[in-house]
Chain A
Amino acid sequence: MNMIPLIKKDFRLFLKSKSAVALTYLVPMILILIFGAVFGGFGKSEGINDIKVLLVDDDKTGFSSKFHSLLDSLEEITIHTKHKVNDENILFDVQTMDEWIQAGKRKLGIYIPSGFEQKINDGEKIPLEIHYDPKFNIEYSIINGVIQKTIMENFPQIIFGGMMNKVNNFLGNEKGEHFQDDIDNVVRRYFPIPEKQEDIFAPESSNFQMMENPIELESVQLLGKEEENVMFVQYVAGMAVMFLLFSVTYGGATLLNEKHNGTINRLLIAPVKRSEILLSKMLYISILGFSQLIVLFIFGWLVFGLNIFKDVPSLLVMIIVTALACSSMGIFIASICKNQQQVGSISTLLILGMSALGGSMFPSFFMPKYIQTIGKFTLNHWAMKGITDIFWYNKHIADIFPSVLILIGITVVFSFIAIRLFNKRLME
Chain B
Amino acid sequence: MIELKDVSKNYGEIKALQNVSLKIEKGELFGLLGPNGAGKTTMINVINTFLPFDNGDVFINNLSIKDNQREIKQKIGIIPQEIALYEELSAYENLKFWGEIYELSGKDLKNRCNDILKLVGLYDRRNDTLKKYSGGMKRRINIAAGLLHNPEIILMDEPTVGVDPQSRNFIFGMIEHLNTTGKTIIYTTHYMEEAERLCKRIAIMDHGKIIASGTKEELFKLLEEENNITIIFKNDFDFENFQITFSKYQLTQVDDKTIIFSGSNIIENLSEIILIIKKMEIEIKEIDFAKPNLEKLFLKLTGRELRDE
Stretch from B26-34, B58-66, B85-93, B184-192 at the A interface: B85-93
Q: How far, in Å, is A14 (CB) from chain B's closest CB?
A: 10
The 0/1 profile, CB within 8 Å of B marked 1, for residues 1-37 of chain A is 1001110110011001100000000000000000000
Residues on A with C-beta less than 8 A from B49 are 269
- Asked if A85 CB lies within 8 Å of chain B CBs, one says no
Interface size class of A (residues with CB under 8 A): 20 to 34
Contact yes or no, B103 A266, CB < 8 A: no
Residues on A with C-beta less than 8 A from B100 are 4-5, 8
Q: How far, in Å, is A344 (CB) from chain B's closest CB?
A: 18
- Asked if B97 CB lies within 8 Å of chain A CBs, one says yes
**Shortest Cβ distance from A268 into B: residue:** B50
- Asked if A271 CB lies within 8 Å of chain B CBs, one says yes
- Asked if B73 CB lies within 8 Å of chain A CBs, one says yes
How far apart are the CA atoms of A263 and B76 in the complex, in Å?
17
Binding site for A on B (CB under 8 A): 45, 48-50, 70, 73-74, 76, 78, 80, 82-89, 93, 97-98, 100-103, 129, 145
- Asked if A270 CB lies within 8 Å of chain B CBs, one says yes
Contact yes or no, A1 B101, CB < 8 A: yes
Supposing A5-B97, A268-B50, A269-B50 touch, asked if A13 and B102 sit within 8 A by C-beta, the answer is no
Contact yes or no, A262 B97, CB < 8 A: no
**Contacts A/B (CB < 8 Å), 16 sampled:** A6-B101, A8-B97, A12-B89, A13-B88, A16-B89, A16-B129, A261-B82, A262-B83, A266-B84, A269-B45, A269-B76, A269-B78, A270-B73, A271-B73, A271-B101, A271-B103
How far apart are the CA atoms of A14 and B38 in the complex, in Å?
39
Contact yes or no, A272 B89, CB < 8 A: no
Contact yes or no, A265 B80, CB < 8 A: yes
Contact yes or no, A270 B102, CB < 8 A: yes
Partner of A16, one of B45, B78, B85, B88: B88
**Shortest Cβ distance from A17 into B: residue:** B88
Residues on A with C-beta less than 8 A from B103 are 1, 271
Residues on A with C-beta less than 8 A from B80 are 262, 265-266, 269
Partner of A272, one of B84, B93, B101, B145: B101
Partner of A9, one of B48, B74, B83, B97: B97
Supposing A271-B73, A271-B102 touch, asked if A265 and B88 sit within 8 A by C-beta, the answer is no
Residues on B with C-beta less than 8 A from A5 are 97, 100-101
How far apart are the CA atoms of A261 and B94 in the complex, in Å?
14
**Shortest Cβ distance from A15 into B: residue:** B88
Contact yes or no, B84 A263, CB < 8 A: yes
- Asked if A350 CB lies within 8 Å of chain B CBs, one says no
How far apart are the CA atoms of A265 and B102 in the complex, in Å?
15
Beyond A5-B97, A261-B83, list 14 extra A-B contacts (CB 8 Å): A5-B100, A8-B100, A13-B89, A261-B82, A261-B84, A261-B87, A266-B78, A269-B45, A269-B73, A269-B76, A269-B78, A270-B101, A271-B70, A271-B73
Which 10 pairs between the two chains have the least Cβ-Cβ distance? A262-B84, A5-B100, A266-B84, A271-B73, A262-B82, A269-B50, A16-B88, A270-B101, A263-B84, A9-B97
Residues on B with C-beta less than 8 A from A9 are 86, 89, 97
Contact yes or no, A263 B86, CB < 8 A: yes
How far apart are the CA atoms of A390 and B88 in the complex, in Å?
41
**Shortest Cβ distance from B82 into A: residue:** A262
| Chain A 254-301 interface residues, beta-carbon cutoff 8 Å to B | 261-263, 265-272
**Shortest Cβ distance from B74 into A: residue:** A271
Residues on A with C-beta less than 8 A from B70 are 271
Residues on A with C-beta less than 8 A from B83 are 261-262
Contact yes or no, A265 B84, CB < 8 A: yes
Contact yes or no, B50 A265, CB < 8 A: yes
Contact yes or no, B98 A270, CB < 8 A: yes
How far apart are the CA atoms of A234 and B183 in the complex, in Å?
63
How far apart are the CA atoms of A262 and B100 in the complex, in Å?
18
